Structures are given as structure tokens and as C-alpha cells.
Amino acid sequence: MADATSGMATAASDAFLSGQGIAVPLEAVEDELTRLWGPAAERADGPDLEHPAVTRISLANLVVGALGEDVGRVERALETVASRYPCRVIVLRGTADGGRSVSAEISAQCYLPAPGQPQVCSERIVLGAGPGALDLLPGAVRPLLESDLPMVLWWAGDPRPHLGVFHDLADEATRLIADLADPDAEPAAVAEALDPSRSGCGFGRDLAWFGVHRWRELVAQFFDVPEPRAALGRIASVEVRVAAPTASRPARVGCWIAAWLAGQVGWRGVTRAVEGGQLEATFEGPGEPIAVRVSTEAEAGLEVAQIRHVSLALRPNPSAPERGAETYGLARLVGTPEVRVEVCSEVRCSLARLIHAREFDVARRVAAALESRRSDPPYFAALPHLLWLIGA
């Protein structure tokens, strides 16, 4: 009897550890997790390939709001996110259920850091609610948050259809990741999601911001030595080309590059014009006006908008006009993790070189968001410019 019972417990634990969702009553989630982790931790075989021991890790509570969104995209991303940043994940999923109740399903996400090492596992709780029960979700989430750990809200999609739930959760989050479609999200949705005046959203980030980190690094490198740094004031134009799932609007990821420059250098937006995926804007800087262009082209098969090209053109140095204008260019070699860097001027014309700069997909962007510092002055300096560029 004891063997049969322990065998059943091990089987349930196996299912749990393999990522198979186990439906449980909501009020029994914690007890069931405790029950399922027990046999997992008691495995006696030690850290070998066939029967690795299990280590449960949780660095944060990650609440994922996926009420109206493509849940599959979120689920795929979670696998990678959990391997880089193990946390207790609570996924909020909209269902077609009638009535006023919240369903719960639990599973573990495990990965093997290296052969011979214990599996690192964290738990996933999926809460489902029909259209008439969505307001019950925040009350269902709160008791499940692990104490002493930060709560990060990753909201996928437009928050406006579920504003009550969004605000309830965002107000309690230590940080918010707003994952809105790029470029399809309406500017008003972006403004609502990123409103810094709300307590949780005060530490909110547009997920698209984490798609420009490597590009920011590459652009910043151009101005690392003192002489070109002084040239920041001579930027005459910025052009960003983006490939995106659609070209309905200028891609935010491209706008973020321009907004970041504006925030760091001290530009002020003057005019903007949008036609489909094309944005033309003018900024006022310390010198003469700066022209900004963000071009978005539709490319089939893309999950997120990706920057393909960034170029900056500088006016001639007034103290050395004979040197002529300068251009700094970055171009993604499509289908590769390489970016070609070109700098051309009378004084410094370098051979094109390749830099390894992997594109960040949704999972890597979320992981970067989780690992980043909560305080991010460049983001907040850029945010007003972004909202202006997208017309929010």
C-alpha cells in the first residue's frame, strides 16, 4: 500500500516536473505545490544525467497578464525566460468559461544548467477566468505571491480592455513590463500602459525598449572618445529602418532609438508626420534642426519588430569645415547575429567591420527587462519623446 501510494506520488511529481499542467482547486495551490515538490526533492539518485536531483529556485514573482493576447507567444517565451531568471510564474489567461470562478493549473519549469548538475526548477501557476470573472483575478493572484520576493508584472497586449485588472496588479508591482504589439499597438494604449504617474508603472518599461539595448551600445560607441563626443551637437539626421510583422505604423523600436538620442542629447520635438509605417520628424537641438526618419517595412515571419539599420549624419565641424560631413552607420546582416559598422568622414574613414550583436527576441527582451536595474534615467528621459513620436 505504501509503495503504491509513494509510486502514485512520484508519478504525479514526474508529471509536474515535466511541465504537465495539473488542475487543482485555487485554494489548494500552495498545498499541492508543497506536496509535489516533496517527492521531487527527495529523489535519491543524485545529480546524474538520467535522474538529476532538483533544485527549486525563485528569484521573483512574475505575473503574466495574457488575457487577450496570443498566449502561445507568451508561453514559448516563458521557457527561455525561466531558464535565465527562475521565478514563480503566475499566468493569467482568459477563457471562454461562463460564471464567476477562477481555475488553476500548476506545473514546474525545469532546465539542466549543465550535464551532471541538478535541474533548476521553478513553478508555474496558470489562472483562468472567463469574461465574467476577470475582476476576480487580482484577488486570486495576491495570496499566491511568494513573500519577500519582488512582483514583476509582464502585461502582454493592450491593457485598456482590462484596465481594472491591469491597474490593480500594476499598482502592487515592483516593476512592470508592457508588452504591446509593435507597431500595431495604438498610441493611446501605449500611453496608458506606460503612464509613469501610477505607482507600479512608475517603474514600467516598454518591452520594445529592450530591443534597442544592443543598438544603443553600438551607437554610443561612436562617441566614446572625446573628439566625436563633442560632435553630438552636430547630428543633422537620424535614420532608422525597421522590419516588423506589419507596417501599419512606425515601429516603436525604431522610435525608441530617436527618443533615446533626444533624451540624452537634449533635443526638443518640433514637427512630425506619419504615413503608414513612415515617420518624419524634426527636432530642435543645441545647433541646427535634426531630421529623424523611422521607416518600417513589413516582413513575414517576424514575431517582433527588429531594427535593421541605424545611421547618423553629422554636419561639418564649423572649426574644420574642410573635413566635410560624417556618417555613422549600423546595418544588420539579415539572418545573422552580425551587425556591420561603418564610419565615414574625411578624417576617420574606417573599413566596415562586423560586430556580434544578437537580436533580442521576446524571451530575451523579457529576461533583459527582469535583469535590468529598476532605475533607468535614459528610459524616462526618452519616454516623453517616444510618446510624442508615436502620436500618443
Q: Is there binding between residue 135 and other proteins (CB under 8 A)?
A: yes
Closest by CA to 23, choosing from 108, 104, 136, is 104
Site string for other proteins, 147-166 (x = CB under 8 A): xx-xx---------------
Pairing of strands 235-244, 306-314: antiparallel
Q: Is there binding between residue 356 and other proteins (CB under 8 A)?
A: no
Count of CB atoms situated within 10 Å of the CB of 16:
24
Alpha carbon separation from 277 to 122, 164, 242 (Å, rounded):
41, 32, 9
Cβ-proximal residues to 7 (8 Å cutoff; 6+ apart), any chain: none
Given 9, 12, 22, 59, the residue binding other proteins (CB under 8 A): 59
Contact by Cβ (8 Å): 165, 138: yes
What is the closest distance, in whole angstroms, from the C-beta atom of residue 164 to other proteins in the complex?
11
- DSSP assignment of 343-363, as one string? EE-SS--PPPEEEE-PPP-HH
Pairing of strands 306-314, 22-24: unpaired
Which of these segments, 105-113, 127-135, 306-314, 338-346, binds other proteins (CB under 8 A)? Answer: 127-135
Cβ-proximal residues to 213 (8 Å cutoff; 6+ apart), any chain: 360, 368
Q: Is there binding between residue 130 and other proteins (CB under 8 A)?
A: no
Given 98, 132, 143, 377, the residue binding other proteins (CB under 8 A): 143
Coil vs helix vs strand at 212: coil
Which of these segments, 146-154, 222-230, 248-256, 337-345, binds other proteins (CB under 8 A)? Answer: 146-154
Given 127, 242, 341, 366, the residue binding other proteins (CB under 8 A): 127
Given 124, 175, 198, 332, the residue binding other proteins (CB under 8 A): 175
What is the closest distance, in whole angstroms, from the C-beta atom of residue 106 to other proteins in the complex?
14
Given 78, 90, 92, 140, the residue binding other proteins (CB under 8 A): 140
- Contact positions vs other proteins (CB under 8 A): 26-27, 59-60, 100-102, 104, 127, 129, 133, 135-140, 142-143, 145, 147-148, 150-151, 172, 174-175, 203, 373-375
